[in-house]
Amino acid sequence: TYAPVPAKEDFLGCLVKEIPARLLYAKSSPAYPTVLAQTIRNSRWSTPENVKPLYIITPTNASHIQSAVVCGRRHGVRLRVRSGGHDYEGLSYRSEKPETFAVVDLNNMRTVTVDAKASTAWVDSGAQLGELYYAISKSSPVLGFPAGVCPSIGVGGNFAGGGFGMLLRKYGIAAENVIDVKVVDVNGTLLDKSSMSADHFWAVRGGGGESFGIVVSWQVKLVPVPPTVTVFKIPKTVKEGAVDLINKWQTVAPALPGDLMIRVIAMGDKATFEAMYLGTCKTLTPLMTSKFPELGMNPYDCNEMSWIKSTPFIHLGNKATLDDLLNRNNSFKPFAEYKSDYVYEPVPKPVWEQIFGWLVKPGAGIMIMDPYGATISATPEAATPFPHRKGVLFNIQYVNYWFAEAAGAAPLQWSKDIYKFMEPYVSKNPRQAYANYRDIDLGRNEVVNDISTYSSGKVWGEKYFKGNFQRLAITKGKVDPQDYFRNEQSIPPLVEKY
């Protein structure tokens, strides 16, 4: 455990002048552990050795956030911002090293206002994706939004790092469908698109959370969905031909029309082909017969439903209800490790055979594979900070869960080993990774003279952002040159040459 850091009394004194005391939780407050734990999703970051915030601030409006920034800067207390708390490395609420920081927790700020006529919505960062989807469906049965699959993810972190789900092939990522934002900058000023620089507006939509100020809310362009979509989940074991099917899938799925997304979840000796089609079974069946007959999909596999019903169905299965979209008390809080990859060249069939060998080893996790192509691949790399575009066949996410702290050795080793094994078959120079699947093993910022260095950030940053990393760092240098908003993987400011 770390030596306690002395409380910054002046910081609290500053806060209480501007923010009602009931919205502030000091470490000594009885409610502090509950408030902190509320949205921790990875139990690895709940254990005592994690460095916790001195205070948790739970604003109910933008002016509270502005005050938190002003007080934090005046009294030398950093702020980490938490929306849904799903950060894989917990960087929204814990620090790896001793640090005096407070968390701005946006849990109380989750208004969604839909303008169905204009096909737009304003959504606060503290809303969870399920609340956004639900509110859209209440206003219109034929509008949707292309963000993450898991309904309890926070809008704030998901949009800040890109955000994709079953609509990625048709409509790309969440961030590219954001048309305005309200951001509290490092001076405590509330900015929107018209009052911020074009680079700042570009950076907040996909450049990762924390670095560019606190995004209070987002205006999004809603996308058309038909009244009926079709979902199927077809499991195939290795004995039933999973290897041949995945081998075919990896080139077929990225070339399908944008209306059809077929992802694969590989677990143990089984691959489950999960699809969402923006249309009815009647047109899906002949499409599958012509493009991917080997899967043997037939009308009995079809589940026709509204788009909104498909969102909990895909995540939780056929017992899921719309209430699951609104449930903020998810009790599934495993210990977890995640990594990600991008694949540009088909993985050779014998390698798929070996991968299924890996998936049944002790400590094995699962692999979730999302095909790209269509819209997500057609957008130019520099259009948003999210650079994984042309030529990507699919994204891999390696997910590993365990349920007692002491049980972590085998899954952690498996994650390292499969990541090493996959190296020859995935993107290189840099080996790309998805910013929202944060992986601290890719690198950490070094802080020199109280500023994160560009060279240390480049190591992990080019994996998440490729050539966009430098523009992000230059933008950071303009909007936060003293590196106030930072964590172990925030964008470092690049100022010297510009």
User: Can you give the binding site for ligand FDA, defined by CB under 6 A?
Assistant: 41, 80-88, 91-92, 106, 125, 148-150, 153-154, 156-158, 160-165, 209-210, 214-215, 436, 487
Least CB distance from residue 160 to ligand FDA, whole Å? Answer: 5
Least CB distance from residue 119 to ligand FDA, whole Å? Answer: 22
The Cα–Cα gap between 137 and 122 comes to 14
CB nearer ligand FDA, residue 104 or residue 256: 104
CB nearer ligand FDA, residue 82 or residue 248: 82
CB nearer ligand FDA, residue 161 or residue 254: 161
Least CB distance from residue 487 to ligand FDA, whole Å? Answer: 6
Q: What is the CA radius of gyration of the chain?
A: 22
| Per-residue b or e along 45-57, where b marks 16 or more CB atoms closer than 10 Å to that residue's CB | bbeeebebbbbbb
CB 293 within 8 A of CB 305: no
The Cα–Cα gap between 38 and 433 comes to 28
Kindly tell me the burial class for residue 429, based on how many C-beta atoms sit within 10 Å of its own C-beta (0-12, 13-18, 19 or more).
exposed
Least CB distance from residue 237 to ligand FDA, whole Å? Answer: 25
Least CB distance from residue 354 to ligand FDA, whole Å? Answer: 27
Contacts of 454 (CB under 8 A, 6+ apart): 473, 492, 493, 494
Do β-strands 223-224 and 214-221 pair in parallel, antiparallel, or remain unpaired? Answer: unpaired
Residue 126 has phi, psi (to 5 degrees) of: -80, -5
CB nearer ligand FDA, residue 126 or residue 258: 126
CB nearer ligand FDA, residue 12 or residue 167: 167
Least CB distance from residue 214 to ligand FDA, whole Å? Answer: 5
Contacts of 179 (CB under 8 A, 6+ apart): 120, 193, 219, 220, 221
CB 129 within 8 A of CB 112: no
Helices 129-139, 307-316: inter-axial angle, 10-degree rounding: 160
CB nearer ligand FDA, residue 152 or residue 250: 152
Least CB distance from residue 331 to ligand FDA, whole Å? Answer: 13
CB nearer ligand FDA, residue 148 or residue 443: 148
